[in-house]
A = this chain, B = another copy of it.
Amino acid sequence: MRNQSFLLFLAFSVCTTAIAQNNDSIQFKKIANDIFTNSTAYENLRFLCKQVGPRLSGSPQAEKSVKETYRMMKEMGADTVYLQECMVPHWVRGAKESAFLTNTFGQRIALNICALGNSVGTGKTGIKAEVIEVRSFKELEELGVKEVKGKIVFYNFPMNPTNVETFRSYGEAGQFRGRGPAMASKFGAIGVMVRSLASNIDDYPHTGATNYNDSFPKIPAIAVSTRHAELVSNELKKKKGLQLFFKTECAMLPDVKSYNVIGEIRGTEFPDEIITVGGHLDSWDLAEGAHDDGAGCIQSMEVIRVYKQLGIKPKRTIRVVMFMNEENGLRGGRKYAEVATTENNKKFIFALESDAGGFTPRAFGFTAEETVLNKLRNWVPLFKPYGVYEFSAGGGGADIGPLKPLGTVLCGLRPDSQRYFDHHHAANDTFEWVNKRELELGAINMVLLLYIVDQYGL
C-alpha cells in the first residue's frame, strides 16, 4: 500500500472504530438503564436464597434450584431451556456437630466448628485427642510421625491481610483445607481442625471441600471459626498437650443424578458459535449461597431478560449455564465441556463466569492470547463509566476451565474482593449481604462484555 492510501485507510479505520464505539456506547447505556430500572436479578436472587435456600449437590434444594432456574429462564423468554444430566457426589452433614477444648483448668470450652465438605465423620462417639498446632506443612513434617501420630492436627494459618486481592490470600491459606487432612493422615493424625478461611475475626466456621489422598486413611476434618482459632492458639501458648474433642456425623453417600440448567438465545448469523456465560447453582449447606454463587447464576441469566426486553438479537448463540456441583466435585463444569467436545459442528469461542460474589465489579480477567486480549482492550474506555477499568491477563473460573482445551477464550468477572471472605462458605452468606445496585452493576458489565464479543467476535 502506498503511503498516502495507507494514511487514508488508517484515518478511515479510526473513524469507523470511533463511530462503532459511539454506537456501542449508546447501546451500553440502554442496556445499563434497563438493568438498573427493570432487572429481576435481585428478586430472583431473593427467591433462590429464601425460597430454595442452601442447595448442596444431591440435596432436595439442589433439585428445586434446577426446577426454579429452569422456570426463570423460560419466563425471561429464552429460545430454549434444557437440562444437561450429570452424576454428582452426595455428601451430607448429618446430625449436629460439636467440639470442645479442655483447657488448663480442665474446663470445657465449646468451639464454633463445622465439618469440612467431603469429610468423613467421627461417628456418634466423636474423637478426643491431644491437639497440636502447626502453621505450615514444613512444621508438620518436622514434627513427623513421632509427634503427630494419634493426635489432632490444628492448622492455624491466617489469611494474609496485606494482600489487597483477598483471593491471593485465600489461595495461600486454602492448601491447608484442601490437602491438610490428607497430609496429617500421612503422619498418623486421627483428625484435623483447620482455621476457617476468613479474612475477618468472627464466630462463623467456614466449610469448603477437602481432598483426601487414597494412599492414607481418610480422617475426620473440621473448620473452626477464626475467633476460636485464636482462642485455641492462646490456650496452647499457656499449656501444650491440651485435649480436643469433636464429633461429626457427616458422610459421603452414593452419587446421584443432577443437572446443569442451560438457557439459550439462538444466534442469527453464526448460531454455531457459542458464547457461554454462567455461575454455579449448588451452594454449601450452611447458608443461602447468596454471594457464592447465587449472585453469579442470577447475573448470568440477566442477558436473556435484557436482550428480550430490548429486542437485541445476538449474531452468535448465547448459552446461559447454571453449573451444578462446583463446590464439591465440579461435575457440572466437566460434563458441560465433555458434551461440548462432542458437538463437532459448534465452536465454543468464549466463556464468562461470575463466581466471586455479587460485589461492585472492578475488572475482567482473561485467559486468552495476547492479540485477542489486546483487541478486547480497545473497548475498556466504554466500560469505565460502569466501573470496570481493567481487562487483565489471567482469569476464568472453575466451571468454564474445562473448556480450555477447546480453545475457548475464558473470562472471569472480578468484583471488589474485600468483603467476600467474610461470608464465603459460612452461614452468613445470605441475601441481606448482597446489595441490589452492586449485583446489577456486575450484571450490566457482564452483558456489555457479552454484547461486544457477540458483535465483533474475537
Residues of A within 8 A of B (CB): 32-33, 36-37, 161-162, 164, 166, 199-200, 360, 362, 385-387, 389-390, 416, 418-419, 422, 435-438, 441
A33/B418 in contact, CB under 8 A: no
B164/A385 in contact, CB under 8 A: yes
Q: How far is the CA of A32 from the CA of B200 in the complex (A)?
A: 17
B36/A437 in contact, CB under 8 A: no
List of B residues within 8 angstroms of A438 by Cβ: 418-419
Count chain B CB atoms within 10 A of each CB in A164, A199, A390, A419 and give the residue with the most: A164
Query: Distance (Å) between the CB of A299 and the closest chain B CB?
Result: 14
How many copies of the shown chain assemble into the complex?
2
Q: How far is the CA of A386 from the CA of B390 in the complex (A)?
A: 14
Query: Distance (Å) between the CB of A148 and the closest chain B CB?
Result: 31
- Minimum CB distance partner of A360 in chain B: B416
- Minimum CB distance partner of A421 in chain B: B437
List of B residues within 8 angstroms of A37 by Cβ: 161-162
B435/A422 in contact, CB under 8 A: yes
Q: How far is the CA of A438 from the CA of B164 in the complex (A)?
A: 10
List of B residues within 8 angstroms of A422 by Cβ: 435
List of B residues within 8 angstroms of A441 by Cβ: 164, 418
List of B residues within 8 angstroms of A164 by Cβ: 32, 385-387, 441
Q: A200-B436, A389-B389, A436-B200 are in contact. Are A161 and B36 (CB under 8 A)?
A: yes
Q: How far is the CA of A311 from the CA of B243 in the complex (A)?
A: 44
Q: A36-B161, A162-B32 are in contact. Are A418 and B389 (CB under 8 A)?
A: no
B437/A199 in contact, CB under 8 A: yes
- Minimum CB distance partner of A390 in chain B: B389
List of B residues within 8 angstroms of A419 by Cβ: 435, 437-438
List of B residues within 8 angstroms of A390 by Cβ: 389
Closest 8 CB pairs of A and B: A418-B437, A36-B161, A33-B162, A389-B389, A36-B162, A418-B438, A360-B416, A419-B435
- Minimum CB distance partner of A422 in chain B: B435
List of B residues within 8 angstroms of A435 by Cβ: 418-419, 422
Q: How far is the CA of A94 from the CA of B198 in the complex (A)?
A: 43
Q: How far is the CA of A33 from the CA of B160 in the complex (A)?
A: 10
List of B residues within 8 angstroms of A362 by Cβ: 387
Sample 21 A-B pairs with CB under 8 A, ordered by A number.
Answer: A32-B162, A33-B162, A36-B161, A36-B162, A161-B437, A164-B385, A164-B387, A166-B437, A199-B437, A200-B436, A360-B416, A389-B389, A389-B390, A416-B416, A418-B437, A418-B438, A418-B441, A419-B435, A419-B437, A419-B438, A422-B435
